[in-house]
Structure 1
Amino acid sequence: MKKALFGSMLLVFSLCFYTLNGCTLLSAAGLNDKGLPTAKVGEDLTSSTANSQVNLDHSTWTALLKKHVSKDGLVDYKGFKKDEVKLKEYLEMLSENKPSKTWSVQEQLAYYINIYNAYTVKLIIENYPIKSIKDINGAWTKDIVDIGDVKMSLGGIENSILRKMNDPRIHFAINCASYSCPKLLNEAYTAAKINEQLETATKEFINSDKNIILENSVKLSSIFDWYKKDFKEGGSVIDYINHYSNVKIKASAKITYKEYDWSLNEPK
């Protein structure tokens, strides 16, 4: 018993150390998905609405994003706050449609990405004005997300559900309300466009100023350090980046990581 307990504590500690971003993995309560379905993404994900029992309407979220998020991903939280009722209605719709195993992997991905991003916005506007999401106690660890009769934390959705779906591109789709995060897309993720949206988000982030990429040296976003295991399946982190990067990196390139800017991703 003591050996098993020690092993569990060591796993949580190592994962905490591994992510560093507020120790979000602790919120997963032992990496517990609480019975929510986590379909695995195959090698060739295609965008489709034809293979799911349910196809949710995310148009309310798209309308809010187009109204309050610029093309470069900056968020007008003051404007969002004025539309708090509409945001609440959208989140209630998501809660009333708890995912099941009959949902396609495309529909599950879109649902979990959207609910993560929408609840992050809700968290910010409930505490606005603030300088950083890290100023909010338990931002990633408190169970603030309602999915049917299940309550999850933002960290739980990220680490217990989305990361288990086996598609590292999710790291460029979910947004932590900070400047160094991948930008918040100004449209909802949908099953009908999910693969193209994930490809665009990944390519855009890798080739943005969030990384400095040269042939012989790279200075990468800390995301590639915190979650490096996710990007090493079938190769190295460099192999993964080269799949999207405009500049091809040599295998011998020196890798360092940029300091993460946790200030709120709103217009200055």
Structure 2
Amino acid sequence: MKNLFLSIILGLMAVGNIHAQDSLSYAELSVQLIENLRNGQPTEAIVEKLASVSEKKLKEDLNTEGKQKAFWLNVYNAYVQIILSENPDLFKDRDSVFGYNFFSSPQITIAGKDISFDDIEHGIIRRSKVKISGGYASNPFPGSYEKKFRWDDVDPRIHFALNCGAKSCPYIAAYDPDRVNEQLDITTKQYLERTTDYYPEENRVVVNKLMSWFRADFGGKSGAIKMLKEYEIIPQDADPSLDFKAYDWTLELGNYKEI
């Protein structure tokens, strides 16, 4: 009898959660997806809703840059956790040129379309940038899907928000559409503080490899130095040389943080 009562309560709670999700915008639903993952709650209903929404409805719903940023950051981070929690061995194939590649193979369904992590990061979030160009080259033939969902400018702070499953990645936060810019400032400062080594006696600063891989997004070396000053990582009058740390690709899941 006790087990039956517990099953009924859990069933009612699940139904209540589904009804609550029906009232959320898709940006808010992406926040709920991250929170469910962090708290060990089911995600299947949210995943199904994100997969089945029409492109038109999703585009209409993501009607501000704040909603767009929050939605795609949360979706990227959530699906890395979902996919690699189910099959961590997939991460071993992240550099494959032929066959399956964890980042470039379509394995996420959003608005009826199968897309890859690269499609989200470089196509939508980075506005159709060529992945291996350091941010200096744009894809001259972007697809209609990414053109529909991308926004006007590349925000370098997103590199300190996207978590690809590696130990050197930023922490995972639930990005709120109403607070996303504030949150991106917070996570950028925290990540730079955690990963930057400044040696004033050598006039040298060592930063995460992300600032090399996507150097055009940061405005080159001068832009990276400017960002370090903006977030008070180095003194305002410093003009150090810039070096980069090796990236630790050890798989590390579940690195959530409240921001």
Structure 1 and Structure 2 fold alike (TM over 0.5):
yes
Distance, in Å, in 2 between the alignment partners of 1:162 and 1:55 is: 15
Distance 1:128 1:200, change over 3 A: same
User: Structure 1 residues 59, 260: CA separation in 2 closer, same or farther (over 3 Å shift)?
Assistant: closer
Structure having the higher helix fraction is 2
Instruction: Describe the superposition over 1:18-64 as per-residue Cα deviations: whole angstroms up to 9, x where unpaired.
Output: xxxxxxxxxxxxxxxxxxxxxxxxxxxxxxxxxxx976334532432
What percentage of residue pairs aligned between the two structures are identical? Answer: 27
* Cα distance in 1 for residues equivalent to 2:158 and 2:211: 13
Could you say which residue in structure 1 is the equivalent of 2:175? 189
SS in 2 for 1:100: helix
User: Which residue is 1:110 aligned to?
Assistant: 70
Q: Quick check: 1:212 aligned with 2:172? A: no
Bigger shift: residues 160-169 or 97-106 = 97-106
Correspondences of 1:16-95 after superposition (within 5 Å): 56-58=28-30, 60-67=32-39, 86-95=42-51
Higher relative contact order (CA 8 A, sep 6+): 1
- CA separation of 1:213/1:127 partners in 2, compared to 1, >3 Å: closer, same or farther? same
Shift in Å, 1:177: 0.6
Q: Of 168, 178, 188, which residue of structure 1 is paired with 2:166?
A: 178
Separation (CA, whole Å) in 1 of partners of 2:26 and 2:95: 37
Unaligned residue ranges in structure 1 (runs of 5+): 1-52, 69-82
Note the aligned Cα RMSD (angstroms): 2.8
Q: Distance in 2 between matches of 1:233 and 1:259?
A: 18
- Which of these two proteins has the greater Rg computed from alpha carbons? 2
* Partner deviation per Cα, 1:87-118 (whole Å, 9 max, x = no partner): 23222222334431561111111111111111
TM-superposed CA distance for 1:171, in Å, is 0.8
TM-score by length of 2: 0.66
Q: How many equivalent residue pairs?
A: 196
Query: Which sections of structure 2, spanning at least 5 residues, go unmatched?
Result: 1-24, 128-150, 255-259
AA partner of residue 245 (structure 1): E
Deviation at 1:162, TM superposition (A): 0.4
Name the CA shift for 1:225/1:233 in 2 (closer, same or farther; >3 Å).
Answer: closer
- TM-score scaled to structure 1, two decimals? 0.64
Superposed CA deviations along residues 108-156 of structure 1, whole A, max 9, x for unmatched, are: 1111111111111122022136775738841111011212132211011
